[in-house]
């Protein structure tokens, strides 16, 4: 009687993530695009300011520009108004012993070293009485106070937010150098899967994972090719893998990576490339497959290497959702050229008790209540997709740890995981 092969020990989430991310490197393709069209793209080169911001000394208040020593030297607080300076107009040098009416954002005239806000003055005709003795530099925003010419304002690897686009525009950048979008092929296996709008036959289920995973990929800015539902046949699965490998950086599948007779993704990937099957000590989402599919001899600009990465997710909807957020998201962001991919976590109070500890690292769906603590969704099953809509994020609960009410736990908001 043969001795069964011992099962490999489960990887911790940290070990699995480190192994996965060590294989990722930024894609090489770049392009120059208009700054107005660059939202959510990743910079491939530093943005260096060609100018100071502001490019001149400006007033940060509506008021009067003066030379502060004039008040002390002359002892006269009533000054003639020699000019009016709206924003966007070049002023004349300030005449000694006078004040200049000035507005917020306007250029401070040469010879002036302070602004007195209009609430601290009394104007009458062409003269103004200064009711406050300003210090030199008061209410003046100095040239270059925000940005110095030649400084890096946005480093390569930055994902471009609306405020980052505004910053680039503030130094005159009409175009930005960005990495091309990560190209991801996605398909789903299972003869039981049915698309919404089609009759639901006995034993069938609607394919919710297709909608969730495509949405997650698109939210990350990926260029997604959706091959839909592939029949549970080895030849069909291999053919889809071969086609998808030609012009993509990553192939993502959901379901079909176990060892059942109808699970063809595992043998198909092994036939077309290489595959590692991981058992991860996490709940939900224990199984994960990682490998690569060979490309044919011809190569494309979109996919210039010899193989395309492959990640196979579990089929349960919450499991695929959680494993995507924890493993696929950072992998894709590294491919996209980002340098920081770890989500930020919060330390929050648990307003619940979970007496039963699990030997695996649990990721519990929870939400923040009005008191600033966390409530736990009552059903943590990997099939309960409602928990992902109800919740605000995931509690990262260590293995073998029961949670007591009032305890501080590590909480990763969906706002971080979906960013």
Please tell me whether residues 304 and 232 are part of one structural domain.
yes
Tokens representing 205? 């289920």
The helix or strand, by DSSP H or E, that contains position 154, with its residue range, turns out to be strand 152-154
Please tell me whether residues 327 and 236 are part of one structural domain.
yes
Tell me which residue range forms the domain holding 233.
Answer: 13-29+181-335
Is this structure's pTM higher than 0.85? yes
CA distances from 121 to 106, 181, 209, 251 (A): 19, 57, 67, 69
Please tell me whether residues 124 and 230 are part of one structural domain.
no
Tokens representing 181? 């979008």
pLDDT in tens, the chain (419 residues): 445 545 667 899 999 999 999 999 999 999 999 999 999 999 999 999 999 999 999 999 999 999 999 887 666 789 999 999 999 999 999 999 999 999 999 999 999 999 999 999 999 999 999 999 999 999 999 999 999 999 999 999 999 999 999 999 999 999 999 999 999 999 998 778 878 888 888 888 888 899 999 999 999 999 999 999 888 889 999 999 999 999 999 999 998 665 554 578 889 999 999 999 889 999 998 889 999 999 987 555 544 569 999 999 998 999 999 999 999 999 999 999 999 999 999 999 999 999 999 999 999 999 999 999 999 999 999 999 999 999 999 999 999 999 999 999 999 999 999 98
Residue 316 lies in a domain: yes
Residue 253 lies in a domain: yes
The domain boundary, picked from 88, 116, 141, lies at: 141
Task: State how far the Cα of 399 lies from the Cα of 362, in Å rounded to an integer.
Answer: 7
Please tell me whether residues 249 and 309 are part of one structural domain.
yes
Please tell me whether residues 25 and 36 are part of one structural domain.
no
Please tell me whether residues 237 and 383 are part of one structural domain.
no
Tokens representing 282? 């996490």
Residue 8 lies in a domain: no
Please tell me whether residues 214 and 320 are part of one structural domain.
yes
Q: Inter-axis angle of helices 234-245 and 265-272, to 10 degrees?
A: 50
State how many domains the chain has. Answer: 4
Query: Which DSSP state fits 338?
Result: -
């Amino acid at each position: 009687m043969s001795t069964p092969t011992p099962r490999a020990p489960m990887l911790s989430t940290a070990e699995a993530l480190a192994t996965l991310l060590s294989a990722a490197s930024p894609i090489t393709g770049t392009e120059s695009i208009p700054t107005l069209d660059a939202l959510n793209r990743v910079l491939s080169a530093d943005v260096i300011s060609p100018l100071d911001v502001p490019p001149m000394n400006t007033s940060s208040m509506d008021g009067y520009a003066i030379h502060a020593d004039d008040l002390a030297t002359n002892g006269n607080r009533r000054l003639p108004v020699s000019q009016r300076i709206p924003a966007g107009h070049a002023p004349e040098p300030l005449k000694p012993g006078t004040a200049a009416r000035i507005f917020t954002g306007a250029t401070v005239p040469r010879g002036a070293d302070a602004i007195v806000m209009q609430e601290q003055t009394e104007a009458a005709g062409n003269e103004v009485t200064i009711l406050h003795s300003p210090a030199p530099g008061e209410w003046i925003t100095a040239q270059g106070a925000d940005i110095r010419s030649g400084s890096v304002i946005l480093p390569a690897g930055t994902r471009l937010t609306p405020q980052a686009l505004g910053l680039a525009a503030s130094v005159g950048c009409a175009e930005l150098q960005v990495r091309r979008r990560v190209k991801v092929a996605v398909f789903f296996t299972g003869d039981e899967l049915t698309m919404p709008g089609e009759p639901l036959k006995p034993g069938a289920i609607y394919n919710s994972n297709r909608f969730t995973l495509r949405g997650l990929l698109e939210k990350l800015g990926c260029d997604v090719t959706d091959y839909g539902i592939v029949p549970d046949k080895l030849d069909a699965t291999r053919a889809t893998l071969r086609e998808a490998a030609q012009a993509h950086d990553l192939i993502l599948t959901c379901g079909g990576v176990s060892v059942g007779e109808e699970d063809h993704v595992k043998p198909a990937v092994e036939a077309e490339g290489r595959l590692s099957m991981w058992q991860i000590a996490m709940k939900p989402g224990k199984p994960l497959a990682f490998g690569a599919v060979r490309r044919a001899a011809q190569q494309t600009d979109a996919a210039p290497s010899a193989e395309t990465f492959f990640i196979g997710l579990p089929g349960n909807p919450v499991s695929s959702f959680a494993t995507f957020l924890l493993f696929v998201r950072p992998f894709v962001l590294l491919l996209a050229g980002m340098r920081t991919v770890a989500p930020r976590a919060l330390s929050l109070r648990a307003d619940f008790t979970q007496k039963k500890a699990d030997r695996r690292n649990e990721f519990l769906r929870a939400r923040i209540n009005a008191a600033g603590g966390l409530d736990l969704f009552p059903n943590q099953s990997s099939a309960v997709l409602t928990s992902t809509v109800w919740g605000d994020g995931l509690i990262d609960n260590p293995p073998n740890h029961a949670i007591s009410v009032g305890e501080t736990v590590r909480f990763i908001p969906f706002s971080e995981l979906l960013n």
